[in-house]
Amino acid sequence: MNETIIEARHLVKHYKELNALDNVNLSLTANRIYGLLGRNGAGKTTLMSILTAQAFATSGEALVFGASAYENDAVLSRICFIRESQKYPEDFHPQHAFRSAALFYKNWDQDFADRLAEDFQLPLKRRIKKLSRGQLSAVGVIIGLASRAELTFFDEPYLGLDAVARQLFYDRLVEDYAEHPRTIILSSHLIDEVANLLEHVVVIDRGRIIMDADAEEIRGSAVTVSGSAEKVDTFLAGRKILHRETLGSLASVTVDEALGSRDRAEAQELGLELSPVSLQQLVVRKTMAGPGATGAASKTNDFADDTLEARR
Amino acid sequence: MSRTVAVARMQLINKWTYIGWPLTILAASFLMSIAIFALIPVTEGKNGGGSQAPLWYFLVLGIQSMTLVFPFSQGLSISRRAFYLGTLGLFSLIALGMTALYLIGGVIEKATTGWGVYGYFFNIPWVTEGPWYSTAAFFFVVMMFMFIVGFWFATIFKRWGTTGTLISTLGTGLVLIGLAALATLAEWWGYVGNWFAQQSPLSISGWTALLCVVLAAGSYATLRRATP
């Protein structure tokens, strides 16, 4: 049942001036919802493009359903990957795009596509060129959902969608996934919004995988300790610190490890407050603590801006 | 195989692109040509270049199928081979249909002495003067040529960007100028002229078909490594 569906070995994608992928190894099993998280330009789209043979790796191997997808109809017919900047034929309306998808996906559900179009208030008979950014995203989301491909990629599917439409997408995805289990890979930088959907999280930064773990595992894996700076530092001496913030004599420190019950009791005695770290915070902290980020103050600021922007 | 056929069917979902627009362009150009022929008070045969109008649209179709339909086909996880064969197959079908229309138009045109106004739209001096199959071959090959040239340039553009397109366009120009210069220096123009004088519409179709095959093979080689 849970066979390996994606296997990436030593994937490298080298562009002129940067390594878009830098020795990526990944093994994903079937019928789960994965989050592929990372900053803009971290390598998410590049990785998905190579897995689906839309782009080519400089070196390394990418196997999907046990084989390379390149020119392999047996593999390709089970994959759907509508990219964030997907192009459509010149005169196409959304209904034409859906009828095209129906030609290629044996599990295509037209009723589902129609219902989704209604949900997203997508005009079916308008040229795709004339659609707004949100409506364009809706076309891609509908193809991705209604195709019911065994392996479906969503590439930042929410761009331009309002809060209601985004919630609709998350709801429909979970409902349909429950009825028709398949493998979903959701690439996103809106981590808080999708955190609850994800069963497994892969974080990529500067072309490297920096986190690859089950969501459950991650939830308790870090903790923020706050209280008087002196006590916090004593308590956390020798632990792996991800982030430290001070305000006057108070400190709030995030550690990259779980605390046992004895530690927790001790913290309580010291009057320290323990709070869970959200997935988004954890990803942000880990990314900022990563190699190349040290000493680059401007870069960290960029990231703060990015996350802010994404949440707007 | 079925996915190849589906690629052709997909591009016919919107009937305008491959059927509606070519017919509209042909009809509009035909009616305008006839109106102009009717205005010229001459009872000798009049010829115009209006019948080439749809050809320029085919060039655009060739370009768009690579710049827009190819990326879409990739989104639906269609192999490059299925996309190429399906699109080229569709090109051929459309060119075949248009050729049939041109032939029928030519027959009616002759029967009505140029639509009653001595105007010849489908009959072109030299080109349509041979047997019907030579006319058919000429129209078909020229239409395919326009598609394939558009497709080929767009594959170059997709693969190597603006620089690649510029280099290949300028390069082609330079080679042609070089050949012309060589012909002038070596005083070959007489032979060249003779060679062309000896060609029939059928043999020109043959040479053009050969060029089409080379360009089509070239596009496939480029497309194999193209990314959307």
The per-residue DSSP string of B41-86 comes to: ---S-EE-SGGGHHHHHHHHHHHHIIIIIHHHHHHTT--HHHHHHH
User: What's the confidence (pLDDT) of residue A307?
Assistant: 41
Amino acid at A237: A
User: What's the confidence (pLDDT) of residue A291?
Assistant: 61
Q: Which of B6, B13, B64 lies closest to A96 in CB terms?
A: B13
Distance between CA atoms of residues B96 and A19, nearest Å = 48
Contacts of A80 in chain B (CB under 8 A): 75-77
If one compares A294 and A74, the residue with the highest pLDDT of the two is A74
Can you give B95-148 as a three-state secondary structure string?
HHHHHHHHHHHHHHHHHCCHHHHHEECCCCCCCCCCCHHHHHHHHHHHHHHHHH
Residue A100 touches chain B, beta carbons under 8 Å: yes
Contacts of A77 in chain B (CB under 8 A): 3, 77
Please, which residues bridge with residue A202 across strands? A36, A212
Nearest Cα residue in chain A from B3: A104
User: What's the confidence (pLDDT) of residue B140?
Assistant: 97
Helix (H) or strand (E) holding B3: helix B2-11
Whether pLDDT at A71 is above 50:
yes
Q: What is the pTM of this model?
A: 0.91
Q: Is A54 close to B227, i.e. CB distance below 8 A?
A: yes
Check: complex ipTM more than 0.85: yes
User: What's the confidence (pLDDT) of residue B38?
Assistant: 93
Nearest chain A Cα distance for residue B14, angstroms: 7
User: What's the confidence (pLDDT) of residue B1?
Assistant: 60
Share of chain A above pLDDT 90, in %: 83
Asked if A47 and A103 touch (Cβ cutoff 8 Å), the reply is: no
Q: Domains of chain A, with CATH numbers?
A: 4-218 (3.40.50.300), 220-311 (3.30.70)
**DSSP-assigned letter for residue A195:** G
Contacts of A72 in chain B (CB under 8 A): 79
User: What's the confidence (pLDDT) of residue A23?
Assistant: 95
Residue A77 touches chain B, beta carbons under 8 Å: yes
pLDDT one-digit tens code per residue, A76-97: 999 999 999 999 999 999 999 9
The angle that helices B132-185 and B53-64 make with each other, rounded to 10 degrees, is 80
Helix, strand and coil percent figures for chain B, each rounded to 5: 80, 0, 15
The mean per-residue pLDDT over the stretch A243-262 comes to: 92
Whether pLDDT at A308 is above 80:
no
Whether pLDDT at A204 is above 70:
yes
Distance between CA atoms of residues A57 and A51, nearest Å = 9
User: What's the confidence (pLDDT) of residue B107?
Assistant: 96
With cut-offs at 50, 70 and 90, classify the pLDDT of residue A189: confident
Whether pLDDT at A304 is above 60:
no
Residue A89 touches chain B, beta carbons under 8 Å: yes
Residue A299 touches chain B, beta carbons under 8 Å: no
Per-residue pLDDT 10s for chain B (228 aa) are 699 999 999 999 999 999 999 999 999 999 999 999 999 988 888 998 899 999 999 999 999 999 999 999 999 999 999 999 999 999 999 999 999 999 999 999 999 999 999 999 999 999 999 999 999 999 999 999 999 999 999 999 988 889 988 998 899 999 999 999 999 999 999 999 999 999 999 999 999 999 999 999 999 999 999 999
User: What's the confidence (pLDDT) of residue B224?
Assistant: 94
pLDDT one-digit tens code per residue, A136-173: 999 999 999 999 999 999 999 999 999 999 999 999 99
